[in-house]
């Protein structure tokens, strides 16, 4: 796979190619964990503790240039830097215990903006219920922040546990962030109240932490993943990891996304499937546990919306009004 020295560039490997290369290096040098409780690829990493619980750790880097769309304030960026990490912990059923933040900041960056960024980080950490213990500050050419979460879980929900017959469900509606990104990145228009409602989902991200932990503790989930890379991509990942196919009967699209789609004569389901950064959870539930799963989500203040069924085979299909293969439209850095 590797060419001559210096011939192959990071960009041609892509994010996943780099991760594969790193993993092979860790494995071959004896620095990987044998038989990890959350095998790669999964949303977070875990290690079994002597007391039977799991230490769960997660890091994801917020980079302003790629993670903050035009118009996002520094307060929201801080919320997002924390939320994107919490959402992955939530999907595994882990409660974060503490955070660290490694900040990279350009020399000429405004101090007031930086303060607001940390106000967002602080508000978010408090909202989710863990302290920020410390961190590190270094110089960088972009504003970036690697958030590092340490958490604990009594039981873990892997990405790869879906079985034929399982119910596929999500914790909320999709489409608003997809529509908001069309407005923010492509300059598409919307009446002001609609614009505001859509953009709020991008500027005020919230992770489903209570639902995730409650669902994991209920023992009702066969697999779980956070939807931040987009619903279509997430469904494909869960399907591949679980070695089964997915048949979707309905996609819950937010009313705001439907309104936006109608104005522009575009497909609302498309917005929902390719949006990304909704921070909803996508889970599978054995049918006999469905009632308990719904009850657990509701007791945690959330809900569970059934969108389809896992079947023998592979691939993801929409089976409402004819059968269509759902293309995998993930979103990959570095390509």
By CB under 8 A, residue 35 contacts its own copies: no
Give strand pairing partners of 146. Answer: 61, 102
By CB under 8 A, residue 36 contacts its own copies: yes
By CB under 8 A, residue 72 contacts its own copies: no
Q: How far is 170 from 307, CA to CA, in rounded Å?
A: 7
Give the residue, chosen from 64, 89, 90, 104, that forms a contact with its own copies under the rule CB under 8 A.
104
Give the residue, chosen from 10, 196, 264, 314, that forms a contact with its own copies under the rule CB under 8 A.
10
By CB under 8 A, residue 32 contacts its own copies: yes
Give the residue, chosen from 263, 266, 311, 334, that forms a contact with its own copies under the rule CB under 8 A.
334
Two tokens, residue 28 = 């071959």
Residue among 31 and 323 whose Cβ is closer to its own copies = 31
Residue among 32 and 295 whose Cβ is closer to its own copies = 32
Q: How many residues does the chain have?
A: 335
Residue among 137 and 299 whose Cβ is closer to its own copies = 137
The CA distances from residue 218 to 44, 45, 292, 298, in Å, are 20, 21, 8, 12
Q: Residue 17 Cβ, how far from its own copies at the closest point, in Å?
A: 8
By CB under 8 A, residue 319 contacts its own copies: no
Residue among 63 and 305 whose Cβ is closer to its own copies = 63
Give the residue, chosen from 121, 157, 232, 253, that forms a contact with its own copies under the rule CB under 8 A.
121
Residue closest to 81 by CA, chosen among 131, 119, 136: 119
Block residue for tokens 């705001």: 256
By CB under 8 A, residue 63 contacts its own copies: yes
SS3 87: helix
Give the residue, chosen from 68, 89, 90, 105, that forms a contact with its own copies under the rule CB under 8 A.
105
By CB under 8 A, residue 206 contacts its own copies: no
For every residue of 153-199, DSSP letters joined together read ESS---SS---TTPEEEESS-BSHHHHHHHHHHH-----HHHHHHHH
For every residue of 63-80, DSSP letters joined together read EHHHHS-TT--HHHHHHH
Only segment of 125-133, 171-179, 180-188, 262-270 that touches its own copies (CB under 8 A): 125-133
By CB under 8 A, residue 11 contacts its own copies: yes
Residue among 103 and 257 whose Cβ is closer to its own copies = 103
84 membership: H or E segment, kind and range: helix 74-92
């Amino acid at each position: 796979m590797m060419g001559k020295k210096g011939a192959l560039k990071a960009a041609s490997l892509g994010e996943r190619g780099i991760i594969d290369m790193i993993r092979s290096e860790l494995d071959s040098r004896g620095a990987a964990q044998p038989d990890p409780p959350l095998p790669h690829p999964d949303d977070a990493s875990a290690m079994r503790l002597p007391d039977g619980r799991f230490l769960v750790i997660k890091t994801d880097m917020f980079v302003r240039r790629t993670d903050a769309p035009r118009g996002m304030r520094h307060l929201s960026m801080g919320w997002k830097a924390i939320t994107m990490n919490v959402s992955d912990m939530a999907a595994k059923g882990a409660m974060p215990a503490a955070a660290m933040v490694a900040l990279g900041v350009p020399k000429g960056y405004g101090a007031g903006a930086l303060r607001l960024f940390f106000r967002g980080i602080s508000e978010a950490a408090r909202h989710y219920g863990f302290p920020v213990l410390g961190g590190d500050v270094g110089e960088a050419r972009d504003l970036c922040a690697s958030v590092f979460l340490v958490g604990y879980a009594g039981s873990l929900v892997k990405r790869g546990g879906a079985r034929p017959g399982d119910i596929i469900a999500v914790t909320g509606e999709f489409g608003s962030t997809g529509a908001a990104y069309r407005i923010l990145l492509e300059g598409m228009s919307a009446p002001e109240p609609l614009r505001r409602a859509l953009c709020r989902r991008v500027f005020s991200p919230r992770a489903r932490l209570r639902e995730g932990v409650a669902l994991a503790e209920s023992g009702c989930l066969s697999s779980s993943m956070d939807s931040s890379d987009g619903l279509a991509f997430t469904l494909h990942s869960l399907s591949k990891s679980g070695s089964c196919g997915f048949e979707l009967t309905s996609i819950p699209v937010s009313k705001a996304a439907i309104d936006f789609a109608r104005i522009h004569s575009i497909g609302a389901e498309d917005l929902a499937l390719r949006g990304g950064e909704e921070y909803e959870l996508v889970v599978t539930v054995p049918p006999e546990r469905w009632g308990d799963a719904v009850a657990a989500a509701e007791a945690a203040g959330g809900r569970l919306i059934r969108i389809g069924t896992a079947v023998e085979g592979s691939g993801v299909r929409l089976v409402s009004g004819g059968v269509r293969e759902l293309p995998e439209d993930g979103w990959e850095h570095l390509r």
